[in-house]
């Protein structure tokens, strides 16, 4: 790659929890405008990888660079500031809070001398930003729990992009969704390429990942056992490696 | 526009119905002056003390934690002020200020212990409830040999403190204690903070999902520790109000107030699990508490029935709130 925009490079990353080697010698590169699929069984190290990239954990060894600059995130906030945002499957939004408060969670727009939340702006922006993702909500004051599962995932994605995410990690975005809801979310994820986002997608669903992704990384027991470009592989080939 | 659905999904709706019911009930059955200005003053005074505590407790509960130590913090504060003025000869404002620092520190310790250990605040603050009460009684006996102290009205600076905390305003011949106005002011501030500021959003998010909130960069631990310090502050405020109203202190001041404050919050629609609640609801909850407590006296019924009534109110509130929320908010 000539340009280094929104590029993540991991070199020889190790992470241990006690005597368990959660990640062993992981080296990989992800770039903007591409969808990178992280495949693997439970316990393969996918979550640990995501948590290291998003600043929840720190690697024990190895080098982590964003746009050719070495980084050491102490917490998710620092990763967010570097443009790295994660959408977790269950933690994307808070159902009991309303939609616009969820959209601006942790980034509340304030105005006036008393630093109060600018509700009109927050509601207007939420409705506008969701519309870009084909979601029309009439009432942004509704509890976010009243949105469908797919809409919640898209809300979290729209929110991440609005707040400047350039590198977006999606953790099993469709695993809890029905077929039709999944299709809608997949359609929106595919469009993230055009926004030049570096997408890292963690998935169980090989068919879906294959139809959506550009690059595939297969994890087993904390190791990166295979790395493929879409042109040089097939869903069946990926499955055979995973199930070997 | 206010729709029926919108109205019933608000946390304070159940409490408002309860308020109308208890007020109507005592307006009909308590003939001995419940409706007079004196009667109104008497239940507003009771409501205001519980109300100020309950506002702090509500914010803390919305953030997902409990503080059972506030009752003993009231006893501690009143005794500390009394000892510092009468035994250490400090002026009352200085004694109150030193006490405030100690009480806020205890609140800080409660908070830090809860967020660092990850243990339920119910247990941690139950422990500090007993520790603080025990320390208060022990020190008080050690220094003075007694558990009650009077005669504070003659101490230095009492008048200044009394004019801030123990004063009253006369409205058509009836003296309304200033604590009622403090209560309303605290309520307005609490409401604005919770509904209209960033901190308020953080409090809701912290209680609704600590994990989600922290992933969005919200400092959930700081939010919780600050709120433990707020409940401690409210306990101190009530203690000073009592000291300057009665001119004395008692180690047992504030007993069971921790539970009553939680009851007021729950009647007002605050969820025990955090993430949901309302200051207006809590104000109404405190008002219901005051009306029932004083209304029973005005009705000439044995005051023992008060506890039965409050228990019934609490359980009905939880049931009714649960039904409303299921039906209109979560669907």
**Contact of A86 with A60, CB cutoff 8 Å:** no
In a domain, A47, yes or no: yes
Number of domains in chain A: 2
CB pairs under 8 A between A and B: 74
Query: Which CATH number goes with the domain that contains B195?
Result: 1.10.3470
A126 shares a domain with A32: no
Q: What is the mean pLDDT of chain A?
A: 90
Nearest residue, CB atoms, A97 vs list B9, B204, B214: B204
Phi then psi for residue B179, to 5 deg, are -60, -30
| Strand A167-171 relative to strand A84-87, pairing | parallel
Sign of the four-CA dihedral B80, B82, B83, B89: positive
Q: Which residues in chain A touch residue B212, judged by CB atoms under 8 angstroms apart?
A: 88, 91-94, 105
| Nearest-angstrom CA–CA distance, B264 and B58 | 9
pLDDT bucket at B1, cuts 50 / 70 / 90: very low
pLDDT in tens, B248-284: 899 999 999 999 999 999 999 898 888 989 999 999 9
A39 shares a domain with A142: no
Report H helices in A66-178: 76-81, 99-103, 119-131, 149-162
For residue B302, give both structure tokens: 């044995």
Instruction: Residue count of chain B, please give it.
Output: 331
A123 shares a domain with A48: no
* Closest by CA position to B288, among listed B74, B66, B7, B14: B14
Query: Which CATH number goes with the domain that contains A78?
Result: 3.40.50.300
Q: Which residues in chain A touch residue B192, judged by CB atoms under 8 angstroms apart?
A: 114, 116
Overall average pLDDT of the B228-236 stretch: 98
| Strand B168-171 relative to strand B174-177, pairing | antiparallel
Residues of A with CB under 8 A from a CB of B: 56, 76-77, 80, 86, 88, 91-97, 101, 104-108, 110, 114-117, 119, 143, 145-146
Residues contacting residue B234 through CB under 8 Å, at least 6 positions apart: B52, B53, B55, B56, B57, B70, B186
Compute and round to an integer the Cα radius of gyration of chain A. Answer: 18
Q: Quote the domain boundaries for residue A172.
A: 8-93+164-243
User: Among B11, B209, B210, B215, which would you mutate to test the A interface (most chain A Cβ atoms within 10 Å of its Cβ)?
Assistant: B215
Number of domains in chain B: 1
Q: Which residues in chain B touch residue A116, judged by CB atoms under 8 angstroms apart?
A: 192, 196-197
What residue of B is the nearest CA neighbor of A92? B212
- Percent of all residues in chain A with a pLDDT value above 70, rounded to a whole number: 98
A81 shares a domain with A12: yes
| Nearest-angstrom CA–CA distance, B241 and B254 | 12
Overall average pLDDT of the A209-216 stretch: 93
| Nearest-angstrom CA–CA distance, B206 and B274 | 8
pTM of the model: 0.88
> Is B38 a residue whose pLDDT tops 80?
yes
Phi then psi for residue B75, to 5 deg, are -60, -45
Output the pLDDT for position B179: 95
A64 shares a domain with A140: no
Output the pLDDT for position B305: 87
For residue B298, give both structure tokens: 């005005």
For residue B242, give both structure tokens: 């009592």
Overall average pLDDT of the B95-106 stretch: 98
Q: Which residues in chain B touch residue A107, judged by CB atoms under 8 angstroms apart?
A: 216-217
Q: How far is B222 from chain A (nearest CA, A)?
A: 14
Q: How far is B92 from chain A (nearest CA, A)?
A: 33
pLDDT bucket at B325, cuts 50 / 70 / 90: low
B215: contact with A, CB 8 A cutoff: yes
B66: contact with A, CB 8 A cutoff: no
**Contact of A139 with A98, CB cutoff 8 Å:** no
A110 shares a domain with A80: no
pLDDT in tens, A153-176: 999 999 999 999 999 999 988 888
| Nearest-angstrom CA–CA distance, B203 and B140 | 37
Q: Quote the domain boundaries for residue B277.
A: 4-329
Overall average pLDDT of the A79-90 stretch: 88
Strands (E), chain B: 148-149, 168-171, 174-177, 249-250
A79 shares a domain with A105: no
Q: Which residues in chain A touch residue B331, judged by CB atoms under 8 angstroms apart?
A: 146
Output the pLDDT for position B300: 87
A177 shares a domain with A82: yes
**Contact of A92 with A157, CB cutoff 8 Å:** no
Compute and round to an integer the Cα radius of gyration of chain B. Answer: 20
Output the pLDDT for position B214: 86
Question: Which of A113, A146, A179 lies at the terminal end of a domain, its last residue?
Answer: A146
Please report the ipTM that was assigned to this predicted complex. 0.80
pLDDT in tens, A14-58: 999 988 899 999 999 999 999 999 999 888 899 899 999 999 899
In a domain, A153, yes or no: no
A184 shares a domain with A73: yes
Phi then psi for residue A184, to 5 deg, are -65, -45
B326: contact with A, CB 8 A cutoff: no
For residue A182, give both structure tokens: 């999944």
* Closest by CA position to A87, among listed A152, A146, A26, A183: A152
List C-alpha distances in Å: A5 to A167, A196, B95, B196. 10, 9, 61, 38
B196: contact with A, CB 8 A cutoff: yes
A103 shares a domain with A70: no
In a domain, A1, yes or no: no
Specify the 3-state DSSP secondary structure of A170. Answer: strand
> Is A5 a residue whose pLDDT tops 80?
no
B199: contact with A, CB 8 A cutoff: no
């Amino acid at each position: 790659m000539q340009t280094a925009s929104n590029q993540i490079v991991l070199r020889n990353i190790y992470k241990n929890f006690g005597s368990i080697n959660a990640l062993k010698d992981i080296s990989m590169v992800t770039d903007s405008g591409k969808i990178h699929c992280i495949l693997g069984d439970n316990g393969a190290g996918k979550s640990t990888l995501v948590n290291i990239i998003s600043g929840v954990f720190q690697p024990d060894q190895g080098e982590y660079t964003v746009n050719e600059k070495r980084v050491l995130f102490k917490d998710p906030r620092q990763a967010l500031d570097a443009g790295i945002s994660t959408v977790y499957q269950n933690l994307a939004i808070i159902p009991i809070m309303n939609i616009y408060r969820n959209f601006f969670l942790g980034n509340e727009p304030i105005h006036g001398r008393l630093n109060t939340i600018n509700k009109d702006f927050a509601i207007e922006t939420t409705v506008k930003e969701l519309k870009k993702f084909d979601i029309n909500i009439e009432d942004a004051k509704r509890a976010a729990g009243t949105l469908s599962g797919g809409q919640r995932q898209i809300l979290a994605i729209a929110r991440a992009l609005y707040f400047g995410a350039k590198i977006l990690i999606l953790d099993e975005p469709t695993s809890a969704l029905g077929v039709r809801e999944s299709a809608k979310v997949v359609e929106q994820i595919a469009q993230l390429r055009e926004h030049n986002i570096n997408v890292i997608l963690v998935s169980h669903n090989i068919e879906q990942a294959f139809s959506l992704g550009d690059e595939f990384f297969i994890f087993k027991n904390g190791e990166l056992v295979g790395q493929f470009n879409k042109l040089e592989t097939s869903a069946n080939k990926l499955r055979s490696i995973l199930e070997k | 526009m206010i729709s029926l659905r919108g109205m019933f999904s608000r946390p304070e709706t159940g409490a408002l119905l309860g308020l109308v019911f208890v007020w109507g009930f005592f307006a009909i059955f308590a003939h001995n002056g419940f409706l007079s200005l004196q009667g109104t003053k008497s239940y507003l005074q009771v409501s205001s003390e519980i109300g100020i505590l309950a506002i702090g407790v509500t914010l803390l509960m919305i953030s997902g934690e409990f503080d059972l130590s506030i009752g003993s913090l009231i006893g501690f504060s009143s005794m500390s002020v009394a000892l510092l003025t009468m035994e250490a000869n400090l002026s009352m404002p200085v004694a109150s200020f030193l006490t405030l620092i100690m009480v806020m520190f205890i609140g800080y310790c409660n908070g830090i212990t809860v967020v660092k250990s990850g243990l339920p605040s119910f247990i941690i603050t139950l422990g500090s409830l007993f520790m603080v009460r025990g320390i208060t009684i022990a020190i008080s006996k050690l220094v003075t040999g007694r558990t009650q102290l009077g005669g504070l009205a003659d101490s230095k600076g009492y008048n200044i403190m009394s004019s801030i905390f123990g004063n009253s305003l006369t409205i058509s011949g009836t003296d309304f204690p200033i604590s009622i106005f403090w209560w309303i002011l605290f309520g307005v501030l609490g409401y604005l903070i919770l509904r209209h500021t960033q901190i308020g959003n953080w409090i809701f998010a912290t209680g609704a999902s600590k994990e989600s909130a922290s992933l969005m960069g919200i400092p959930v631990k700081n939010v919780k520790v600050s709120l433990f310090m707020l409940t401690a502050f409210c306990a101190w405020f009530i203690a000073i109000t009592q000291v300057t109203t009665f001119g004395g202190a008692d180690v047992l001041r504030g007993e069971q107030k921790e539970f009553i404050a939680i009851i007021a919050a729950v009647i007002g629609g605050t969820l025990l699990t955090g993430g949901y609640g309302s200051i207006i609801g809590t104000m109404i909850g405190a008002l219901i508490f005051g009306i029932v407590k004083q209304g029973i006296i005005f009705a000439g019924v044995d005051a023992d029935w008060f506890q039965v009534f409050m228990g019934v109110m609490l359980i009905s509130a939880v049931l009714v709130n649960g039904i409303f929320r299921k039906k209109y908010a979560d669907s």
